[in-house]
Structure formats: structure tokens, C-alpha cells
Structure 1
């Protein structure tokens, strides 16, 4: 997520705790990884939960700037906090669906300071996922993924090396997906971790060219989660927050580098606090290394 994420039209919010390493390949956390789970409250405020994979799991929750009218936020991409470059301090930005229109939105470090939005497109009222993946090294890459409720997924891909190009690819067959979280951003592919309404858990790899590669990770029990939020943990692993909005509960998992059903998933426990907001997403920084969970 280095400078690459600033190419993503700003992108996302600050990982307020430092990211430490963890060894989930042995199903044992050796140091406490952290992540910030961002949210939009029903009142349109920015919310957050700073989650630490300690034993027991800890979390600090709070709310920040008021951005949106109550009740209109539907889904969101990752939000990224930039380092510098703005006169009033670092800008945090991401993509959000308000009713049926997608906006690029941003806010500064001052809760009472300036905020802004620019319209990116309309007609997205039935979409259930929007996310951005970016990778700067060895040729800049930026892709926006948007999943429609009928299982059609669109990838909008952009490159700037030498001859700038933009392409749109349409994929079908994802109607069973309930939600998904970005877990890998590499030169050759992006990967999502997705749960289905039937309870299965899959990785879905989108190579730069060719068909998606889908691998089953688990066969059942994951259907209760409406939101999955993933952050890098160590060099190749993932810290995963899974949110059950029906009960207002969230659970933390350490996930090894994904390898189908051989993937190690260690339950770290229930995250303290209530998780009833309508929208959840990852908040991170543009200095956090690229996701590499698969």
C-alpha cells in the first residue's frame, strides 16, 4: 500500500496501531498484529475500531467526522490515509456508495475541518461490494472491483507504464457470494476472501489476464457474517475481522497464506464492543505494504 495507494484517487484511512508480525502458519500469534475496522454509522458519521490481536483481543472504538446524510451509505471500499501533501494535514479517502451513486470521498485530520466528495458514477443501487486494489512496483496497477447483486462482477483496470490503458472485464457466476474482502495485491493478480450464503469460504484470485481462480477454503459456518475486513499481518498472512450484524458481534481470525483447504485459520476470539453500523471497511495507510494473503 505504499505510494501505490495514493494512485487510487486518494484511498484509505490510517492504521492507528503499528502492524506487528504474527505467525499463523503455526496457528500461533507471536506478536500482536493490529488493524483498524472503519465504518459509517447510521447517522452518517465515520466510525472506527482499532483491533489488536492480543490475548484476549482488545479494541478501541470511536466516531469521527460527520460525512453523509443519515441512512444513505450502502457499501464502501478501503479508506486510505495519505502521509503528507495537503496544507491542513493528511487526507483520508475512499469510495462509497450513497443510495445508487458512487462517490470518491475524503476528510482531513481535524474532525471540524474540511470534507469533500466527487461523483464517480450512478446506477449502482444493486451492488453489494466495491473495492480498489493497487500495486506500484514493476508497473503501476490499479483495479476497481464491483460486485452486483445478481452475481456479475466488474473489474475496471488501469495501467500507466509507458502506454496508459484502461480496460473493463465482466465476470459472472458470483451470485452465491455474500461479501468479500481484498487479501492480496500483487503484480500478477489480486485475491479476495469471500463467504457464501451457504456458509462456504473461498479465495477468488483475479489474474491480470484470464479467468478467475476459485479455491474452497472451508465448507461451512461462515454464512453468518455480513462483513469481512482484512489487513496484512506479518509478511504473508492476514488478520481478519468477521462481523455478524444480526447480533452486533465481531470475531477476529489469524489466517495463514491461503492454500485452499490447507489454509490455517485460527480463531482469536470475540472483539469487544458493538458492531451494528450499516457499512464496514478497512482503514489503513499509504505506507502499509501491499496485501499478500494468497
Structure 2
């Protein structure tokens, strides 16, 4: 396991402790990446309520799944009853190591916004004076998925893109300075997609894990040039999730699926994506009931940004 992954694992465990979590470690196994250092995979899930409050939870890939107590990540970040979807939450620790800044794209009503704010300390004490919601553009009323992705090489930014599932299409833009979108590309034929989650990033493509209303599970690789490459992973039983959130764990991917109708979350571990040969380990139902409006991956959005490696 790389030093970067070790640091990320330490950060996740630190967040779990900050939340007051006492998550029991699973026994190390040969299939676990560097089990001596990280006995199980973890995902920091950001859940935004209809009232615009952020809740942070640490989910752990053990059987049954582990979940830290919920803790506030910030209150009144968004206006009540307007949030439709939200991207991942990118964080940057300040130079003094006393807090962090956060950045997230959100759709409020039919308008895409850039949400930014500062957290004093690491326990969700948001500075209200720093909360900004910058409108980017309208026409987002039927969006059902939103995510940004960037690729770094040796700490140098190579590209940054925004993706959305809008109507029957997957749409991609280049992102400039935060709110500057350009070079819109539309890929038709995705009306069956219910939701997606980003699982892999390279210099030339991004890959998403997507479920359909009929229950199939696919990977969708979207290259910088050319048409998307779609591969079936499973043909049935995945229709129940209105939200999917993934994060990397060495050469594996940890994924939570949320059934919003029942408030039920389930946790999975995916091997490297390889069509129907993809290995999926089901940890089972997370011992919580989720009732938030949107779910997001929390990740360190710095110059050492770790790329997702799910495919």
C-alpha cells in the first residue's frame, strides 16, 4: 500500500474517532489490501438533509457493516427544501492544520451552484461568514446525478470535468476556475440510468458505476474523445438504490447504495471492475436509517489528490 493510501486511511480513522466511533476492526485476511495497516475499507459519507444541514458518517467494510455515530458537518449550509443533487465534498486542510475549506457543487431547484465554506477545527464548526453559494446556471431541474472529477499527475492538474445525468443524456463539461464551464459534450441513450457513482479516474477517461430502473448494474467509461464504453456487471437486483456513493481502498472500491424509499443503506466491496467477472462482496445492511436528501463522497481535494482506481 502506498504512503498516500496509508495517510488517507489514518485520516478516515481519525474522523471516525472524532465522531466518537468505536468501530470494531475485521480480522485481517489475504484478500484485504495491506491488511496489517488497514484491516478494512472505510468510506466517509456526507449526507445533506432537506434543511440544508450536512451529516458525516464513517462506514466500515466489515460484516455486518460498521457505522460511526452521525455528527454534524455544518448546519444551514443550504436553503430549506431546495436541494436536488450534490457532488462529492472536496476538502483542503489549511496551512496551520487547524481546520479546512470545503467545496461542493449542488443543484438548488433548477440552478447549479458552487458551495464553499470554511470549517474551524475538524468537528464541523462552520464559520457562517464564509458560506458562499455561487449560481452557475439554470436548466438543471431534471438532473438526477452530479459529480466533478479531476486528474492530477505529479501534483499537476491535467484536467477537471463535471458530469451530470440530465434527462436521457450523460453530459460532460470542462471546468475552469470553479464556475467556468466549457466544451459541453452530450452522450445520448442513458434514459434507463437511475443513478451513478464515480469509481475510476485516468488522464484519458472517467468510469462510473451505474444502476438502471430495471435492476442492471453497469460500468460506463467516458473517454475524453470517442463514445462511452458500457459493460454489464450484474443483470438484476440493483434497481432499489436511488443513490450510490463510492471511494477507493487500494485496488478495491467500497460502495454504499441507499434506498431512499425505505431509508435503507447497504454496503459493498468491489474488486477491480471487469464486466460480469467483477467480484462483489456484500457486507449487508448498514445499521442506520438514512433520511437525507443527497449523499456524497468526502475526499481530500489537494495537490496530492488520490485518483480513484476502480476500473
TM-score (norm 1): 0.85
CA contact (8 A) 1:15 1:284 kept: no
- Find out whether 1:17 has 2:13 as its counterpart: yes
Displacement, 1:84?
A: 2.0
Which of 224, 227, 237 is residue 208 of structure 1 equivalent to? 224
User: Which runs of no fewer than 5 residues in structure 2 stay unpaired?
Assistant: 1-9, 16-24
Give 1:134 deviation, angstroms: 0.4
Contact 1:102 1:121 survives alignment (8 Å): yes
Look up the SS of the partner of 1:91 in the other structure. strand
2:170 corresponding residue in structure 1 = 153
Structure 1 residues 187, 244: closer, same or farther in 2, change over 3 A?
A: same
Q: Secondary structure at the match of 1:82?
A: strand
- Unaligned runs of at least 5 residues, structure 1: 1-13
After TM superposition, the structure 1 stretch with the greater mean CA deviation from structure 2, 99-108 or 194-203, is 99-108
- More deviation, 22-31/192-201: 22-31
2:152 and 2:305 in contact (8 A); partners too: no
Paired residue for 1:268? Answer: 283
CA distance in 1, matches of 2:119, 2:229: 40
Q: Decide which of 106, 109, 114 is 1:104's aligned counterpart.
A: 114
d(CA) in 2 for partners of 1:88 and 1:127?
36
1:140 is the counterpart of 2:140: no
Q: In the alignment, which residue of structure 2 is the partner of 1:292?
A: 309
Distance 1:278 1:166, change over 3 A: closer
Structure 1 residue 159: Cα displacement: 7.9
Q: CA 1:146 to 1:23, structure 2 compared with 1: closer, same or farther past 3 Å?
A: farther
Residue pairs, 1:169-248, within 5 angstroms? 169-234=185-250, 236-248=251-263
Other structure's SS at 1:17 match: helix
Whole-angstrom CA distance in 1 between matches of 2:11 and 2:292: 20
Work out the CA distance in 2 between the residues paired with 1:167 and 1:25.
45
SS in 2 for 1:43: coil
Task: State the partner residue of 2:273.
Answer: 258
Count of residue correspondences: 274
Q: CA RMSD in A?
A: 2.9
Q: In structure 2, the residue corresponding to 1:108 is in which secondary structure?
A: strand
Hey, what's the Cα distance between the residues in 2 that align with 1:53 and 1:288? 23
User: Equivalent residues in 2 for 1:79-94 (5 A)?
Assistant: 79-84=89-94, 89-94=99-104
Does 2:296 align with 1:281?
yes
| Match for residue 47 of structure 2 among 11, 22, 39 | 39
Distance verdict in 2 for CA 1:180–1:112, change over 3 Å = closer
- Aligned residue for 1:59? 67
Q: Give me the whole-angstrom Cα distance separating, in 1, the residues matched to 2:210 and 2:137.
A: 25
Higher relative contact order (CA 8 A, sep 6+): 1
- Post-superposition Cα deviations, 1:125-151, rounded to whole Å, max 9, x if no partner, equal 111111101001176111101111x21
Do the aligned residues in 2 keep the contact of 1:237 with 1:293 (CA within 8 Å)?
A: yes
Q: CA contact under 8 A between 2:32 and 2:40: conserved in structure 1?
A: no
